[in-house]
Structure 1
Amino acid sequence: MAARRPVDDPTTSGTGYGALLRTPGSWTFLLPALAARLPYAMLSLGIVLLVHDTTGSYGLAGSVAAVAAVAQALVGPQTGRLADRYGQAAVLVPTVVVHALAVAALVLLARSGAPDWTLFLAAAPAGAAVPQVGAMVRARWVHRLGARPALLNTAFAFESVTDEFTFVVGPMLATGVATLADPSVGLAAEAALTLLGGLAFAARRDTAPVPTGPAAPGHRRASALASPGVRLLAGAFLGLGTVFGTLQVSITAFAEDAGSGGLSGLVYGLFATGSMVAGVLYGLVPWRSGARQRMVACYALLVLGCSTLWAMPNLVALTAACLFCGLAIAPTLITGYTLVESLVADGAKTEAFTWLTGAIGLGLALGSTAAGQLIDRSGPSLGFTVALAGSGLGLVALVTMRGLLAAPAPAARTVAGGGIVREQLAGAARRG
């Protein structure tokens, strides 16, 4: 059985991004993971482009994409739980195959003029089978850096920046392929990247956490969601997701209303760029404050940024406001993942990470739907109030129930070689 690298291993010395990327075996799973994660941000937009191209209806296109997003948000944590129990490869291989087949079915149904309801039937498994690679990568970092918890903050910062990168590049790829070729080709590229990248990532079993195995007869292993702190963070990330969904729809509507629809991608790209820059810098700081304090502070900064969006008079002002708002995104994500890692046992970490990722996806679907309804009724500026409402509720929950984010009292664990791994992250979370 694989064991965590001992504390005194010289190959794991140093701090910062350089030390992180020098972790033995890291590049063997990071590169295929990037290929498998890139399509994550291509699926929703690819579905919209395909369905609108074949039916002429934005309403139907948005609904089909929303079904895929909700299916992903609800089923993703269950696949994460199975990965903890039976191993990442055992779950990932069939998942990416099902995803590729479902996307192929969706393309064929849309192109053949099949009834609208059949599109929903194909979109649901396509979303449900989106591989939870981001959560699995974070679980691998926890496994590899278990003896160096201080470096986990850097690892989570690196992963959040990677997430932002995919959300900048993914939509650009989907739109570019759809424009130069055909929306069907864009979705086909998404499915191919997911399949090939997922299989390559699954093949690197040497860096994956050791599966816990099925529960003993008569015992039922608790879900990560049984932790009140995980539920609180999932609620906060739901509010964060509404910001993503609101901005995707409202920025587009605002730019089109201003007669500059082609600039909407640039505005959203600067929002994501602000988050990427903040994430890189956040990962370089040796924080002395507790993670709970940082979570509340970062989320409050996010709410402050969202509070200005609806009042922007023109596209230039909106761009500046979105850039400021984006500065709070990655730090909030990084701190949330740092906290959730300390709230659950080793055998439930992938599931815990997927609950947060799923909450973002569900919030994105809710935010885009609510913002779209407000925009249709009252104009693009009012659409931004959905982001303020969603993030505001998340902040209220964090402030009033932040005590739930205290990690349970750790028990010293003996690992191979007789060394004792200390739960330093858990102690830091309790001090927060």
Structure 2
Amino acid sequence: MRTPGAWSFLVPGFLARQPFAMLTIGIVLLVQHTTGSFAVAGAVSAATGISMALCAPQAGRLADRFGQRAVLVPGALLHAAAVSSLITLALLDAPLWALLLISVPTGATVPQIGPMVRARWAHRLSGSRLMPTAAAFESVTDEFTFVVGPVLATALCTGVHPAAGLTAEAILTVVGGLLFAAQSRTAPPAHGGSRPAGGRASALSVPGVRVLIVAFLGIGAVFGGMQVSLTAFTQSIGAPGANGLLYGVFAGGNMLAGIACGVVVWRSAPHQRLPRAYVLLALATAPLWFVASLGSAALVGAVGLLVGLAIAPALITGFTLVEQLVPAGARTEAFTWLTGSVALGQALAATTSGQLADGVGSAAGFLVPLAGTALAAVTVAVLRGRLAGPRTADGTPVVPSPSESEERVVARGEGHRIPVSVD
């Protein structure tokens, strides 16, 4: 936290990322209220998530090329306009096709604050041993956001007006987004003027990033599967009010593990830790279906805590690898590919878990997190060599070339100076 300029982007960044966690639940509560159908609400919410997953990397690439401010300011304003249109159509009882149509720009314009904050950390701490700690801090912040955001949106929708949650989401997007964009001093430099002769390479050109995208689908499967399956489970045992408590235990486990990962000084390389982290996550999700079939909320909560504890190592290690694998000019894009992958996995898992819960039983939805993490673990194990990145003949990692400004970055502590090197 002594990194120069850290607080200047962390505080507005925290405010600006709250809408990300409010959007889905706000759509579900509003559309379900106006249509009376969870299926319609889920479809509109899923369409928004898929649109965001597909468009977020493009926004990240534009931010790398032209700067975060150039993308964030118009994006926040367009998102507020799209959300306002969605609210209007829902309150006017518009048909499903109209709601699905407006959900596309709503998801496409979601500001990618989390990836932008991570890109600023990578810019300020390039080559530093503190980068895993920063990644852990961001994981804790994300999880705290997903605890606060849905609670705020739900309280507004149920206590004020069904559209109040989305209205607050749009206002926070504009206010938080503009405040964050104003902190241009800490933003990584735009790389639009340094286009290589062969054209600008996408983050997808890095083999390790492609592996991480597939792996992060598994993390999304956990989030989406847990949200829907816990809701179905608590309703099946006649205790729907326990849903928030059980999900809070799951999220709390993620936060605790994130804090622990941040204080540990790792001796092994991130590409060596990631396969083990995914095996651990798959093993943690394995008992979910069995304990849910027993109908015990206490057992589901206990296993959910273990799943939350297992998510953080996989999530943090994956984000840490981006700083090592991806050149500075494509890092924001790389981070948005990963967050978009989580969103896509979450949308697909939520839909699949809901269908299994309706067609087979409330416990069946818990099979989705297991399937998603098992496939991710196999992918990471088989392709783990690509996560190591390029190496010299003697096995030394080849660090992506930094920009000139990154080479001059120095993190100043209180009473001491810590040179940050890419060597």
- Correspondence list, 1:48-67, <5 A: 48-67=28-47
Shift, 1:410, TM fit: 3.1
Identity of aligned residues (%): 54
Counterpart residue number, 1:159: 138
Task: Provide the C-alpha distance between the structure 2 equivalents of 1:416 and 1:386, rounded to a whole number of angstroms.
Answer: 45
The one-letter amino acid paired with 1:166 is T
1:144 and 2:94 matched: no
* Secondary structure class of the residue paired with 1:22: coil
Q: For residues 358-385 of structure 1, give each alpha carbon's deviation from its aligned partner in whole angstroms, at most 9, with x where no partner exists.
A: 0000000010111111111110111111
* Secondary structure class of the residue paired with 1:259: coil
**Count of residue pairs brought into register by the alignment:** 403
Shift, 1:423, TM fit: 3.4
Counterpart residue number, 2:299: 317
Q: Given the superposition, is the C-alpha separation of residues 378 and 22 from structure 1 closer, same or farther in structure 2, using an over 3 Å criterion?
A: same
Shift, 1:417, TM fit: 11
Indicate which of 134, 148, 155 corresponds to 1:169: 148
1:412 and 1:421 in contact (8 A); partners too: no
Q: Given the superposition, is the C-alpha separation of residues 413 and 304 from structure 1 closer, same or farther in structure 2, using an over 3 Å criterion?
A: closer
Shift, 1:246, TM fit: 0.5
1:278 and 1:327 in contact (8 A); partners too: yes
The one-letter amino acid paired with 1:54 is T
Task: Provide the C-alpha distance between the structure 2 equivalents of 1:418 and 1:175, rounded to a whole number of angstroms.
Answer: 46
Indicate which of 321, 337, 342 corresponds to 2:319: 337
Shift, 1:250, TM fit: 0.3
Indicate which of 88, 99, 116 corresponds to 1:119: 99
Shift, 1:179, TM fit: 1.2
1:414 and 1:421 in contact (8 A); partners too: no
Counterpart residue number, 1:395: 377
Counterpart residue number, 1:423: 422
Counterpart residue number, 2:394: none
* Secondary structure class of the residue paired with 2:3: coil
Shift, 1:116, TM fit: 1.9
Q: Given the superposition, is the C-alpha separation of residues 250 and 217 from structure 1 closer, same or farther in structure 2, using an over 3 Å criterion?
A: closer
Larger mean CA deviation between 403-412 and 331-340 belongs to 403-412
2:124 and 2:406 in contact (8 A); partners too: no
Indicate which of 353, 356, 366 corresponds to 1:371: 353
2:57 and 2:337 in contact (8 A); partners too: yes
2:407 and 2:421 in contact (8 A); partners too: no
1:412 and 1:422 in contact (8 A); partners too: no
* Secondary structure class of the residue paired with 2:217: helix
The one-letter amino acid paired with 1:387 is P
Counterpart residue number, 1:17: none
Task: Provide the C-alpha distance between the structure 2 equivalents of 1:262 and 1:414, rounded to a whole number of angstroms.
Answer: 52
Counterpart residue number, 2:52: 72
Gaps of 5+ in 1: 1-20, 425-432
Q: Given the superposition, is the C-alpha separation of residues 345 and 418 from structure 1 closer, same or farther in structure 2, using an over 3 Å criterion?
A: closer
1:415 and 1:421 in contact (8 A); partners too: no
- Correspondence list, 1:1-400, <5 A: 21-146=1-126, 149-213=128-192, 216=195, 219-312=198-291, 313=294, 314-400=296-382
Task: Provide the C-alpha distance between the structure 1 equivalents of 2:405 and 2:116, rounded to a whole number of angstroms.
Answer: 23
Larger mean CA deviation between 229-238 and 219-228 belongs to 219-228
Task: Provide the C-alpha distance between the structure 2 equivalents of 1:318 and 1:410, rounded to a whole number of angstroms.
Answer: 43
1:413 and 1:422 in contact (8 A); partners too: no
Task: Provide the C-alpha distance between the structure 1 equivalents of 2:9 and 2:71, rounded to a whole number of angstroms.
Answer: 16
Shift, 1:340, TM fit: 1.7
* RMSD (CA atoms): 1.7
TM (norm. structure 2) is: 0.92
TM (norm. structure 1) is: 0.90
Task: Provide the C-alpha distance between the structure 1 equivalents of 2:407 and 2:133, rounded to a whole number of angstroms.
Answer: 27
Shift, 1:215, TM fit: 6.1
Shift, 1:411, TM fit: 6.8
Task: Provide the C-alpha distance between the structure 2 equivalents of 1:169 and 1:417, rounded to a whole number of angstroms.
Answer: 34
2:324 and 2:400 in contact (8 A); partners too: no
Q: Given the superposition, is the C-alpha separation of residues 215 and 119 from structure 1 closer, same or farther in structure 2, using an over 3 Å criterion?
A: farther
Counterpart residue number, 1:404: 386
Task: Provide the C-alpha distance between the structure 2 equivalents of 1:423 and 1:180, rounded to a whole number of angstroms.
Answer: 52
Q: Given the superposition, is the C-alpha separation of residues 183 and 321 from structure 1 closer, same or farther in structure 2, using an over 3 Å criterion?
A: same
Task: Provide the C-alpha distance between the structure 1 equivalents of 2:195 and 2:251, rounded to a whole number of angstroms.
Answer: 45
Shift, 1:412, TM fit: 7.0
